[in-house]
Structure 1
């Protein structure tokens, strides 16, 4: 026991030091020092940025004690850029956390990125301001701050929405329980319109979970939607009278030269159909050229087209299949787009390379491959008559299915016996000999 005494004393000292440090780290609204009359609570909305992760915008909450001249910004969008981050994200297990920072420094940072900075001062009673301040101060503590990120259901903006709703006694949720303006997929297409390629990839990877009708409450996974809803929200105050949730709106910075997010998703279905028909038709044209001329160029170009198809559609198809079977990204499970592109599509890469170097067997195998892929795509199209196959993937069907049919037809033509100029040339050669 005497030997344990120094160790116990040391442990007790560390515990007391940690408790003291924690108390010192709490802001005045977390310790009870702040008075409600001196507090101001702001909902902050940051506009979209340049990289994919910032296309959706961002949001935070700010607590300010005007008497003590203290303020902190609470950001629920923190995550670690370490070597395990990509793996955790791929598995659907990415952890985010809330952290606090200087509001002025944060505003300067977003301004340097040419992103909107807008503040809405919440019209809360002194008691509600104290409650919100205490909630945020406690939420940022190490034992409370982490959460499992879900893009549509639990993200850096839904956490703000839920905190505001908690303080106003559930009035926010109740008021926003009506039908939303559009589905989550349509919102996604709106915000990803700035990058058509990435927009199409995200559209491909997500299943019908984001095609179901949603409420306005669910639409508030987006910063702009939460800002819009807060601006029109009326809450019942302590006197029993309705009053606006937002007392004042301030635009600190407006982005210069940045395109506005479209109010509706772009109608790119017809464009994708034309592109799909053009690509599939080009493959048939190459096959006809090769049959008539016997030249190497059309065979090489058709092989290259197979390689491109295998890379552009096969790799996402393989990734989608793996995400369904091995991850917790439920939004990718049972995805109808696997009828259009799947792990089989990747085989077009090595077979296309072999075809470019003149392999007859590769051409035959490619024909069988594209015949199966085209058939699968047609099965997926026919199954759309059933209620359970309700995924909004018509644009991808219009884009990918004509390519698969065109590739199947082209490889069938390429494998058939030569005719026309090529066969006449062969006949002439035999007669001459």
Structure 2
């Protein structure tokens, strides 16, 4: 098979590296890819959001299967366009990907089908939003309705902070059209857990639970980022909680989407909070999380291509998906200044040494003609180690990361230690 993966970050590197193990695949491509992905796949210089160019290239080069990994092209209908062109694709169609692309839609779906989540209201009028914030008080959560690179959520500790978040989204256009409508919800408490699930429209298969660390600095302080590290499995996610999530959240969500005429095929991301009242949904994503994907796929034993095909064809219930009885930790090495402004183009050293004991997924890198790897993004690398225990995996990731260096490199020192 000739397979194309759409995207160019750490998540896509994890997908490419895992697919490269499949005996079914003869040729692997990635668009646009990055400096590390180029070692396992042929990179194609097409933007992940350029639906027309991507479909044309896939058709011209006779791709047998396309994996659409990022949120933006899914929301733009890339899977719809590929399937219409006769090219099998992995990922939800646009009418199902809206579960991530619109917070207002997803909250409405949960309300209609009685799926547990935080109390909320949505607003298109700034003054009404501000009045609601003052009425409810703080802490309170302000979310941009649309896609905002994982940064469109503010957990405000004061009313003034919440008001500023609403103004920046609705009046100042911080996230463009994505913030013209906002969701304001109660601030839930409890440990957070991510459960990624393979879904084939009707059946689902949960992956090992993971935990992402969103804040930029140690102790879960600083601004939200796309993710500074992840561990799997997540401590505290007991079999009893897993059963409850399956019955109250996972199966009802898949059934709700099907009932709405939006059957979901792909990876459905359940961001959960284990509150004193039981597990509740914080957010949905319509694809693998990043960096959760890097940790979780490191534990997969089953051929990923078989899973992708089963998700598309509705045969997931016939597949026995196996996972290692181990733990994984992905530590993100970021550019200084991220998630605000940062410089690019710095050479990276120590990659070969780090890869002696861990896997280094490239997120924001480029490769010179002479093979030099340089920084090319906010999140640069995801150093990922597997161990028999979670402590061993965490220690392994930090030990490997000590070999890597680039100017202004920044990382948290407490991944997996802060819950």
What TM-score do the two structures reach when normalised by structure 1? 0.23
Q: Whose strand fraction is larger, Structure 1's or Structure 2's?
A: 2
Larger Rg: 1
What TM-score do the two structures reach when normalised by structure 2? 0.23
Q: Whose helix fraction is larger, Structure 1's or Structure 2's?
A: 1
